Structure 1
Amino acid sequence: MSIQTAPPQPTAVRPEARKGRSPQRLSDTQRTLLLTGLCFAALLGTDLRAWSSVGLGGFDLGIFDQGVRGYAHFGLPVSTLKYFHHEFPPGFSLLGDHFSPILALLAPLYWVWDDPRSLLLGQALLFAAGVPLVRRISDHAFAAAEPVVRRRARDLAGLVFGLGWPLLVASQVGFHEVGFAVPLTLLMLERGMAREYRPVVLAAVLLCCTKEDMGLVVAAYGLVLLWRGRGSAAARTARQTGGWLLVSGLATTAITVQWAIPTMGGEPGYYWHYDAVGPNAPAAALHVLTDPLVLLRAATDQTLKPLLLLWLFGTLFLLPLRSATALCAVPLLAERILSSNPNHWSVARHYDAFLWPILLTATIEVLGRLHGRGRPRRVQWLGIGLAGVSLATAVPLGLAELAIPSQWSPGPRQVTLLKATALIPDGAWVEADNQIAPRLTARDHVVLVDQTPRGCEYVLIRSLGRSFPFATDQQQRDRIRLLLAHGYRQVWGSNGVVLLHRWQSEPVPGEHVPVPGGKPVQDVVPADVGHNLFEG
């Protein structure tokens, strides 16, 4: 009797194997690198497009270039653009403007490439460093989800963050302290989600070195940790850390504003723009205690203020409002919607980039909770919708210009400004048009040409096309006539751009340079500036 065995069945061969290839799927590390590289390329491209089109001004790229250049030469971050224009006394450094000692970490970039674009490169790198952190935040939020869901959530979160319109807008307007604030805020929030509180404290300390008001964000996150650690013996470390962040964050802001900034030549209340609430912080606090509705009145006295809130939260489907993390955004939002300065009301500047890591983290947390409550389809459609809205807003607010060749080229007047700079010798003192100032800060002593003559050797100014800080073209033409009548002569002029050279020592009426004990002045914002949500 023989035993019959069934013949072996043929194994199904996948098409990839038949072609001699094995299927490949990007690893998580590769996905992270890909998204990080995409973010870096988009943001650096946005920076360089603005630079190549001569769209970045002395305020603020030139200011930071002068300041970080000071650090690179082992000195204080002194900016003649800033302290001459605002009449700060000699000895004033940028630490007396905003307390941002962390900017010294960018000094080594100047040892490699002595150019203002080093700052743009550094900011793009710092923003891109947030992509891995956002992906880890998503991993924490979707910890209980299936691997495929977690992978998709990580990818979507990284994409939405990296191509987010707040980062694109911040890149379009040059360099600011927000470059450090974004990754440090993400690190603080991510380590808090991982319950690793020593890195939370480290990130909080570095945030307080980024800008004086970031201490308020740290304090708010302390409240979040206290809230989340309530009623649980296992969360004792969270409560202790939260209490420490709350107290130290508030104390750091108070100390930097009241002591550190004045020590560096600044004034404690220089950026107080809250006249509707009170003339100073103590008076405002008393006013709020006696009349709490003053906050509502100040937050709604301009149409753009509620529209700003609607835009920020509406583009995220109001989801951040369902997370305690959103509390960290309250100090930054209050600074803007209670302000009487129109520059704070639009989304055309870098301010929203400070909020972006907070609001996006809160959104991811809410989506993770919804998925954990058995609503995967709802989360899927919300995620797709958020990605669609994010990319749809990013295109007109920055991405589209990257693909338009003409947006990379300077206009006729900008070309003329560039030609004029070639006629200015190295090492000269120059009063320069705001838009061209960053092209001179690497080789000259540059101050901003404004309504006050400074007696510099060269003056580069426009007669057509209003430039900050002038309110009208006529003011610029009046300034040119005044200089020509008192010791200056025109050495070059074309297309509404004039280069003047001082050839006589005749004093100019109104000529003034900052002196010890002088009182800093504020800019008067022109009536047509800052009153459009999407324009500066």
Structure 2
Amino acid sequence: MTDARPRPDRPRAQPLDLLPAAFAVVAGAVVMIAYSVGQWRAMQVPSWDLAIFSELAKAYSRLEAPIVPIKGEGYNLLGDHFHPMLVLLGLVWRLFPSPLALLVLQDLLLAVSAWPLTRLATRLLGRLAATALGLFYVLSWGLQGAVAAQFHEIAFAVPLLAWAAVAFAERRWRSCALWLAPLVLVKEDLGLTVLMAGLAIALRGRQGDPQQPSRRGPAWWRRLDTVRLGLVVAAFGLGAFLLTVLVLLPALSPSGAWEYGLSGGGGNTSLVARLLSSEVKLQTLVMLVCTAGLIGLFSPWMALVLPTLAWRFLSSNEFYWGWQNWHYNAVLIPIALGALLDVVARLRARADAAPAAHSPSAPAPEASPPEAHRAPSGWSAVPMWARWAVGLGVVVPLVTGLATAPDLPLWDLRRPGYGAAPARAQAAARVMDTIPDGATVETDLGLLAYLVPEHTVYWVGTADVDADYVVVDSHSSAWGGNPPTDAASWATARSRTDATYELVLDTDGYQVARRISSDSA
């Protein structure tokens, strides 16, 4: 492959050149971890995802299949989404058996993804602009949404995409392919993202390199080599996607089918109308284009966003459409910023090639001063319009980040008392002290994740067994504003085995019912 040849756009790093990337990573990690710890202490529960992945991590730590009772009795989570990469969570849980550890791990993965992109920005634009872009990236809307939504498997995809984007911009095609390959182990739809990346590599190889040819064979052979690699990557991504959704997921899913195929609701509406049918979708597109600095749209790398946008916007689930919340936008951010930097790198490559193109073929006359034949170098060799385009590409995402900051989750850190224990913290502690370790528990969202480390936990919406204990949080959103008034009566009435429950704790909105008999026992 072509990775062996030296890169003029990758000079030897100076110690000070590492500071922007280091600052972005550390600042992002500190801010995101502070938010996650505060969220955990305040017992804010946006969804059941953290509890689900905590049960998965606990199973992997025991070298067991990822059976997650929260999704249903005997439910193998690999049949929900295909994410064998999450086996790595078993080691994390083994060392730190707490859902909070998963939150911190996600924060670190998102923060470290700023390193390669900020390093590339430093090489291309200098330290000041790179620092600004690095901070924008690590605190961007898509990553903030992922942090606020708590743990999700996409945390592993973000750094892979960041390193792949940098390798693409630097024309290190084999490295790019190697960073892309593990994405198919993170989530099934990312196989289509790999497909688009392979096509982008092939297209870039067909276009050729704006820099001077290297000594490694003729230019046409290198282009053919890159095109061939890109097509192999594309075929790998498509093959992995089809294998996963047509064979692996149906085999592992309790329903015998892929659970997340595109839902209906489009009726006779055209494809374009469904894609752009909502103001929310248009807002998401605008945010994405601004993150790419507008100029990123001219990079083939930007095509990687298309599969993710397609399955989200074609779905009838409105939660998939927005830009301010949830984790669905996280994978788009390294793609968009990578596309921006790819365009900048192409322009810079032309600048680096300019001196050689303008150098005289014969020595200058002795009477001429050396300066007379000195060709422009660096950005001074780039046309003025291109320099303005790069400036626009840097400014637009920064302005976007500043303008939208008050609308995003991390802004809550400025709120006095953020992360303080809630008024019901002592009552919640009493609930967890009431339930012995190893017991099975059926509960709503309120304490779902907090009960996972020491118990087998079921959710009230999917449980089909009679648990040892039932916990009802009258403040939980799971009840739709109509919680049971008596947890024991509610649990007894819906028992599958005619079990009887008694109320053993009723405090500050929490009720705990214990199973005392079962006629089928």
TM-score by length of 2: 0.80
306-315 or 34-43: bigger deviation: 306-315
Equivalent in the alignment of 1:482: 490
- The residue number in structure 1 matching 2:68 is 79
Give the equivalent residue in structure 2 for 1:247.
Answer: 235
Match of 1:511 in 2: none
Residues 203-243 of structure 1: per-residue CA shift (max 9 Å, x gap)? 22211111111100000011111221225413223211210
Match status 1:503 vs 2:516: yes
Write the deviation string for residues 346-393 of structure 1: whole angstroms up to 9, x where unpaired: 231000101111112122334556774434356436524422321442
Q: 1:196 to 1:366 in 2, by over 3 A?
A: closer
Q: Which moved more, 1:484-493 or 1:167-176?
A: 484-493
Is this contact kept in 2: 1:166–1:352, CA < 8 A? yes
Cα deviation for residue 30 of structure 1 reads: 3.2
Question: Is residue 2:436 matched to residue 1:425?
Answer: yes
1:455 alignment partner in structure 2: 466
Q: Of 181, 203, 208, which aligns to 1:205?
A: 181
Distance 2:179 2:346 in 1: 25
Q: Which residue of 2 aligns with 1:16?
A: none
Q: What code does the residue aligned with 1:483 have?
A: A
Q: 1:105 aligns with which of 85, 88, 103?
A: 88
- Counterparts in 2 of 1:501 and 1:225: CA distance versus 1, 3 Å: same
| Distance in 2 of aligned mates of 1:380 and 1:118 | 40
C-alpha distance in structure 2 between counterparts of 1:309 and 1:413, whole Å: 41
Task: Output the amino acid matched with 1:262.
Answer: P
How far off is 1:152 after superposition? 2.8
What's the counterpart of residue 355 of structure 2?
A: none
- Find the aligned partners of 2:52 and 2:282 in 1 and give their Cα distance: 32
Asked if structure 2 preserves the Cα contact closer than 8 Å seen for 1:325 and 1:362, the reply is: yes
Shift of the alpha carbon at 1:190?
1.4
From 320, 323, 326, the equivalent of 2:296 is: 320
In the alignment, the residues of structure 1 paired with residue 281 and residue 395 of structure 2 have an alpha-carbon distance, to the nearest angstrom, of: 28
Alignment pair present for 1:138 and 2:126? no
- Could you tell me which residue of structure 1 aligns to residue 340 of structure 2? 363
Structure 1 unaligned runs (5+)?
1-24, 85-89, 143-148, 279-290, 508-536
Shift of 1:459: 0.7
Q: CA contact under 8 A between 1:324 and 1:362: conserved in structure 2? A: yes
Distance 1:26 1:222, change over 3 A: closer
The answer to whether the 8 A contact 1:58-1:435 is kept is no
Query: Separation in 1 of the partners of 2:148 and 2:243?
Result: 33
Match of residue 455 from structure 2: 444
- Aligned 8 A contact 1:164 1:391 in 2: no
How do 1:202-241 residues align onto structure 2 when only pairs under 5 Å count?
202-230=178-206, 232=208, 233=220, 234-241=222-229
Counterpart for residue 258 of structure 1:
246
Question: 5+ unaligned residues in a row in structure 2: which ranges?
Answer: 1-13, 209-219, 348-378, 494-498
Q: What is the Cα deviation at residue 96 of structure 1?
A: 1.2
Q: CA offset at residue 328 of structure 1?
A: 0.3
**What is the identity percentage for the equivalent residue pairs of Structure 1 and Structure 2?**
28
Name the TM-score, length of structure 1 as normaliser.
Answer: 0.78
- Distance change (3 Å), C-alpha of 1:495 and 1:359: same
State the 1:171 CA deviation. Answer: 0.9
CA RMSD of superposed structures (Å)? 2.7
One of 18, 23, 46 as aligned partner of 2:35: 46
How many residue pairs match? The answer is 455
Mapping of 1:155-234 within 5 angstroms?
Answer: 155-230=131-206, 232=208, 233=220, 234=222
1:204 aligned partner, one-letter code: L
**In structure 1, which of residues 370, 374, 377 is the aligned counterpart of residue 384 of structure 2?**
374
Specify the code of the residue in structure 1 equivalent to 2:71: K
C-alpha separation in 1, matches of 2:426 and 2:227: 58
Look up the match of 2:271. Answer: 295
Cα distance change, pair 195–350 in 1 and its aligned pair in 2 (3 A): same
Q: Where does residue 507 of structure 2 map in the other structure?
A: 494
